[in-house]
Structure 1
Protein backbone atom coordinates (compact mmCIF):
# COMPACT_ATOMS: atom_id res chain seq x y z
CA UNK A 1 0.00 0.00 0.00
CA UNK A 2 1.34 3.44 -0.96
CA UNK A 3 1.90 5.96 1.78
CA UNK A 4 -0.22 9.12 1.49
CA UNK A 5 1.95 12.24 1.73
CA UNK A 6 0.49 15.69 2.25
CA UNK A 7 1.87 18.93 3.53
CA UNK A 8 2.07 22.65 3.12
CA UNK A 9 4.71 25.05 4.33
CA UNK A 10 4.71 28.82 3.97
CA UNK A 11 7.30 31.39 4.89
CA UNK A 12 7.02 35.17 4.61
CA UNK A 13 9.86 37.67 4.80
CA UNK A 14 9.48 41.41 4.68
CA UNK A 15 12.03 43.31 2.63
CA UNK A 16 12.02 47.05 3.12
CA UNK A 17 8.79 48.90 3.67
CA UNK A 18 6.33 47.22 1.28
CA UNK A 19 8.00 44.16 -0.31
CA UNK A 20 7.19 40.65 0.85
CA UNK A 21 8.94 37.47 -0.26
CA UNK A 22 6.73 34.39 0.16
CA UNK A 23 7.92 30.80 -0.18
CA UNK A 24 5.25 28.15 -0.50
CA UNK A 25 5.84 24.39 -0.77
CA UNK A 26 3.06 21.91 -1.38
CA UNK A 27 3.25 18.12 -1.13
CA UNK A 28 0.38 15.88 -2.22
CA UNK A 29 -3.06 17.34 -2.92
CA UNK A 30 -3.71 21.01 -2.15
CA UNK A 31 -6.83 21.22 0.02
CA UNK A 32 -9.31 23.73 1.38
CA UNK A 33 -7.79 23.15 4.82
CA UNK A 34 -4.41 24.21 3.41
CA UNK A 35 -5.91 27.53 2.33
CA UNK A 36 -7.48 27.96 5.76
CA UNK A 37 -3.96 27.77 7.23
CA UNK A 38 -2.10 29.64 4.49
CA UNK A 39 -4.30 32.70 3.88
CA UNK A 40 -4.24 33.99 7.50
CA UNK A 41 -0.42 33.76 7.50
CA UNK A 42 -0.21 35.83 4.32
CA UNK A 43 -2.87 38.32 5.39
CA UNK A 44 -1.28 38.69 8.83
CA UNK A 45 2.08 39.47 7.25
CA UNK A 46 0.73 42.19 4.95
CA UNK A 47 -1.77 43.64 7.44
CA UNK A 48 -1.42 47.39 7.82
CA UNK A 49 0.58 47.81 4.61
CA UNK A 50 -1.36 50.01 2.21
CA UNK A 51 -0.04 48.57 -1.05
CA UNK A 52 2.19 45.52 -0.47
CA UNK A 53 4.23 43.98 -3.27
CA UNK A 54 4.38 40.19 -3.03
CA UNK A 55 6.99 38.03 -4.73
CA UNK A 56 6.02 34.35 -4.53
CA UNK A 57 8.15 31.25 -4.97
CA UNK A 58 5.82 28.25 -5.20
CA UNK A 59 7.53 24.85 -5.08
CA UNK A 60 5.02 22.40 -6.53
CA UNK A 61 7.46 19.67 -7.52
CA UNK A 62 5.60 17.24 -5.23
CA UNK A 63 2.08 18.55 -5.91
CA UNK A 64 -0.30 15.83 -7.08
CA UNK A 65 -3.38 18.00 -7.64
CA UNK A 66 -6.06 20.21 -6.13
CA UNK A 67 -9.35 19.67 -4.40
CA UNK A 68 -12.14 21.51 -6.23
CA UNK A 69 -12.76 23.65 -3.15
CA UNK A 70 -9.06 24.57 -3.05
CA UNK A 71 -9.31 25.85 -6.61
CA UNK A 72 -12.21 28.05 -5.48
CA UNK A 73 -10.11 29.26 -2.53
CA UNK A 74 -7.30 30.14 -4.93
CA UNK A 75 -9.69 32.18 -7.07
CA UNK A 76 -10.95 34.05 -3.99
CA UNK A 77 -7.38 34.77 -2.89
CA UNK A 78 -6.58 36.07 -6.36
CA UNK A 79 -9.60 38.35 -6.40
CA UNK A 80 -8.80 39.77 -2.98
CA UNK A 81 -4.99 40.10 -3.25
CA UNK A 82 -4.11 39.50 -6.91
CA UNK A 83 -3.08 43.10 -7.52
CA UNK A 84 -0.44 42.77 -4.78
CA UNK A 85 1.40 39.89 -6.46
CA UNK A 86 4.22 41.29 -8.59
CA UNK A 87 5.98 38.07 -9.59
CA UNK A 88 5.07 34.41 -9.14
CA UNK A 89 7.80 31.84 -9.78
CA UNK A 90 6.52 28.28 -9.94
CA UNK A 91 9.08 25.49 -9.59
CA UNK A 92 7.72 22.17 -10.75
CA UNK A 93 7.69 19.41 -13.32
CA UNK A 94 7.05 19.99 -17.02
CA UNK A 95 3.55 19.07 -18.10
CA UNK A 96 0.35 20.12 -16.37
CA UNK A 97 2.17 22.26 -13.75
CA UNK A 98 3.87 24.24 -16.48
CA UNK A 99 0.62 24.58 -18.42
CA UNK A 100 -1.25 25.81 -15.31
CA UNK A 101 1.44 28.45 -14.70
CA UNK A 102 1.17 29.74 -18.27
CA UNK A 103 -2.62 29.78 -17.96
CA UNK A 104 -2.42 31.76 -14.71
CA UNK A 105 -0.04 34.24 -16.31
CA UNK A 106 -2.69 35.12 -18.91
CA UNK A 107 -5.40 35.80 -16.32
CA UNK A 108 -3.59 37.42 -13.42
CA UNK A 109 -1.92 40.81 -13.08
CA UNK A 110 1.24 39.14 -11.70
CA UNK A 111 4.07 38.09 -13.94
CA UNK A 112 3.99 34.29 -13.51
CA UNK A 113 6.75 32.04 -14.85
CA UNK A 114 7.49 28.33 -14.65
CA UNK A 115 10.91 26.94 -13.73
CA UNK A 116 12.39 23.49 -13.39
CA UNK A 117 15.37 24.80 -11.42
CA UNK A 118 14.77 26.53 -8.07
CA UNK A 119 17.89 28.69 -8.36
CA UNK A 120 16.75 30.04 -11.73
CA UNK A 121 13.41 30.94 -10.15
CA UNK A 122 15.07 32.75 -7.25
CA UNK A 123 17.29 34.73 -9.60
CA UNK A 124 14.28 35.78 -11.69
CA UNK A 125 12.36 36.87 -8.59
CA UNK A 126 15.32 39.01 -7.55
CA UNK A 127 15.57 40.87 -10.87
Structure 2
Protein backbone atom coordinates (compact mmCIF):
# COMPACT_ATOMS: atom_id res chain seq x y z
CA UNK A 1 0.00 0.00 0.00
CA UNK A 2 1.30 3.43 -0.97
CA UNK A 3 0.72 6.32 1.41
CA UNK A 4 0.49 9.71 -0.29
CA UNK A 5 1.95 12.43 1.90
CA UNK A 6 0.75 15.99 1.56
CA UNK A 7 0.49 19.00 3.74
CA UNK A 8 1.80 22.27 5.03
CA UNK A 9 4.06 22.85 7.99
CA UNK A 10 4.13 26.45 9.16
CA UNK A 11 6.31 28.34 11.60
CA UNK A 12 5.74 31.98 12.48
CA UNK A 13 8.15 34.25 14.35
CA UNK A 14 7.49 37.84 15.29
CA UNK A 15 10.40 40.24 14.82
CA UNK A 16 9.89 43.58 16.48
CA UNK A 17 6.47 45.17 16.55
CA UNK A 18 5.06 44.45 13.08
CA UNK A 19 7.46 42.11 11.22
CA UNK A 20 6.70 38.41 10.85
CA UNK A 21 9.00 35.73 9.48
CA UNK A 22 7.03 32.74 8.17
CA UNK A 23 8.58 29.42 7.17
CA UNK A 24 6.34 27.17 5.13
CA UNK A 25 7.24 23.59 4.17
CA UNK A 26 4.96 22.13 1.51
CA UNK A 27 4.76 18.42 0.76
CA UNK A 28 2.99 16.45 -1.95
CA UNK A 29 -0.13 17.79 -3.63
CA UNK A 30 -1.73 20.55 -1.57
CA UNK A 31 -5.42 20.29 -0.79
CA UNK A 32 -8.18 22.58 0.39
CA UNK A 33 -7.95 20.91 3.81
CA UNK A 34 -4.25 21.83 4.02
CA UNK A 35 -5.16 25.50 3.58
CA UNK A 36 -8.00 25.19 6.10
CA UNK A 37 -5.37 24.25 8.68
CA UNK A 38 -2.65 26.72 7.67
CA UNK A 39 -4.58 29.95 7.12
CA UNK A 40 -5.95 30.21 10.69
CA UNK A 41 -2.41 29.79 12.06
CA UNK A 42 -1.15 32.66 9.91
CA UNK A 43 -4.17 34.85 10.61
CA UNK A 44 -3.94 34.13 14.33
CA UNK A 45 -0.30 35.18 14.37
CA UNK A 46 -0.95 38.54 12.71
CA UNK A 47 -4.27 39.25 14.46
CA UNK A 48 -4.31 42.58 16.23
CA UNK A 49 -1.46 44.03 14.18
CA UNK A 50 -2.81 46.86 12.04
CA UNK A 51 -0.23 46.64 9.25
CA UNK A 52 1.95 43.52 9.54
CA UNK A 53 4.94 42.97 7.25
CA UNK A 54 5.36 39.31 6.33
CA UNK A 55 8.57 37.78 5.01
CA UNK A 56 8.00 34.20 3.87
CA UNK A 57 10.39 31.34 3.15
CA UNK A 58 8.71 28.51 1.22
CA UNK A 59 10.42 25.12 1.07
CA UNK A 60 8.93 23.59 -2.08
CA UNK A 61 11.51 20.81 -2.48
CA UNK A 62 8.80 18.16 -1.89
CA UNK A 63 5.89 20.00 -3.55
CA UNK A 64 4.17 18.09 -6.36
CA UNK A 65 1.33 20.54 -7.06
CA UNK A 66 -2.05 21.88 -5.96
CA UNK A 67 -5.58 20.67 -6.26
CA UNK A 68 -7.77 23.22 -8.06
CA UNK A 69 -9.61 24.17 -4.87
CA UNK A 70 -6.29 24.67 -3.06
CA UNK A 71 -5.17 27.04 -5.84
CA UNK A 72 -8.36 29.01 -5.19
CA UNK A 73 -7.56 29.05 -1.46
CA UNK A 74 -4.09 30.39 -2.25
CA UNK A 75 -5.57 33.13 -4.41
CA UNK A 76 -8.03 34.10 -1.65
CA UNK A 77 -5.18 34.27 0.87
CA UNK A 78 -3.29 36.55 -1.50
CA UNK A 79 -6.28 38.82 -2.00
CA UNK A 80 -6.99 39.06 1.73
CA UNK A 81 -3.40 39.54 2.93
CA UNK A 82 -1.33 40.23 -0.20
CA UNK A 83 -0.45 43.79 0.79
CA UNK A 84 1.13 42.45 3.99
CA UNK A 85 3.61 40.18 2.21
CA UNK A 86 6.87 42.04 1.64
CA UNK A 87 9.07 39.24 0.31
CA UNK A 88 8.41 35.62 -0.60
CA UNK A 89 11.45 33.40 -1.19
CA UNK A 90 10.68 30.00 -2.69
CA UNK A 91 13.34 27.34 -2.89
CA UNK A 92 12.79 24.08 -4.68
CA UNK A 93 13.23 22.38 -8.04
CA UNK A 94 13.74 24.44 -11.20
CA UNK A 95 10.99 24.16 -13.77
CA UNK A 96 7.33 24.67 -12.98
CA UNK A 97 8.05 25.81 -9.39
CA UNK A 98 10.31 28.55 -10.72
CA UNK A 99 7.71 29.53 -13.31
CA UNK A 100 4.94 29.70 -10.68
CA UNK A 101 7.11 31.92 -8.48
CA UNK A 102 7.67 34.33 -11.39
CA UNK A 103 3.94 34.35 -12.04
CA UNK A 104 3.27 35.16 -8.37
CA UNK A 105 5.79 38.00 -8.57
CA UNK A 106 3.92 39.55 -11.49
CA UNK A 107 0.47 39.31 -9.88
CA UNK A 108 1.14 40.09 -6.22
CA UNK A 109 2.46 43.20 -4.51
CA UNK A 110 5.09 41.07 -2.74
CA UNK A 111 8.55 40.63 -4.18
CA UNK A 112 8.70 36.89 -4.95
CA UNK A 113 11.87 35.11 -6.04
CA UNK A 114 12.83 31.50 -6.72
CA UNK A 115 16.01 29.86 -5.45
CA UNK A 116 17.54 26.41 -5.73
CA UNK A 117 19.50 26.89 -2.52
CA UNK A 118 17.89 27.50 0.88
CA UNK A 119 20.77 29.66 2.14
CA UNK A 120 20.55 31.95 -0.90
CA UNK A 121 16.82 32.36 -0.23
CA UNK A 122 17.44 33.23 3.43
CA UNK A 123 20.11 35.77 2.55
CA UNK A 124 17.81 37.47 0.04
CA UNK A 125 15.01 37.66 2.63
CA UNK A 126 17.40 39.36 5.04
CA UNK A 127 18.46 42.08 2.59
- Normalising by structure 1, we get a TM-score of 0.97
| 4+ long deviations beyond 6 Å | none
Q: Deviations over 1:34-66 (max 9, x none)?
A: 100000000000000000000000001100010
- Counterpart of 2:105 in structure 1 is 105
| Structure 2 match to 1:22 | 22
**Aligned ranges 1:1-127 → 2 under 5 Å:** 2-127=2-127
Of 5-14 and 65-74, more deviation after overlay is shown by 5-14
Deviations 1:54-87 (A, max 9, x none): 0000001100010000000001000000000000
The two structures have a TM-score, normalised by structure 2, of 0.97
Give the Å deviation of 1:6: 1.8
Counterpart CA distance in 1 for 2:71 and 2:7 is: 17
Contact 2:7 2:31 in 1 (8 A): no
Give the alignment's Cα RMSD to 1 decimal.
Answer: 0.9
Displacement after TM superposition at 1:8 (Å): 1.7
Shift in Å, 1:5: 2.0
